[in-house]
Amino acid sequence: MIANLLNTLTGLWLAYAAIFPAPGTGRERLILGAAGATIVLALWARRTDASPWQSTTSIAVGAFLALLMILHQIIAIPEVLLFWCVLWAGLVPAVLSLWAALYRPASPTAPAD
């Protein structure tokens, strides 16, 4: 549950970084680090999740964002594409991780005799 909450905060920070870009260098490295943190936190959360599809999706989105930021270091990618990819790569894991943190299915109870 803690990993899911931390992943939610990481996703919200990514959305914030996309909407309010800080001037200066190093923004791409911070976003790449947040993508790595998303992957690590989703792997950690997978051990205790009720169903693993939320963390699997977060891992895939984090890997996509990491690949995108590595490609951005090599070739020029339009800023509008970076904006939307970073925004959605922040929002999707944030929502899914919060869902996984809050969703705990009721365990079947044995009938009382």
Q: Please give the average per-residue pLDDT across 11-33, as a whole number.
A: 89
Higher pLDDT: 22 or 39? It is: 39
Largest pairwise CA distance in the chain: 69
Measure the CA–CA gap between 12 and 55, rounded to whole angstroms. Answer: 16
Angstrom distance (rounded) from CA 76 to CA 2: 37
Buried b (16+ CB within 10 A) or exposed e, 1-21: eebbbbbbebbbbbbebbeee
Query: Domain residues of the chain, as ranges?
Result: 2-102
Average pLDDT over residues 83-101: 94
The whole-chain average pLDDT of the chain stands at 90
The average pLDDT across 62-78 equals: 94
Higher pLDDT, 109 or 94: 94
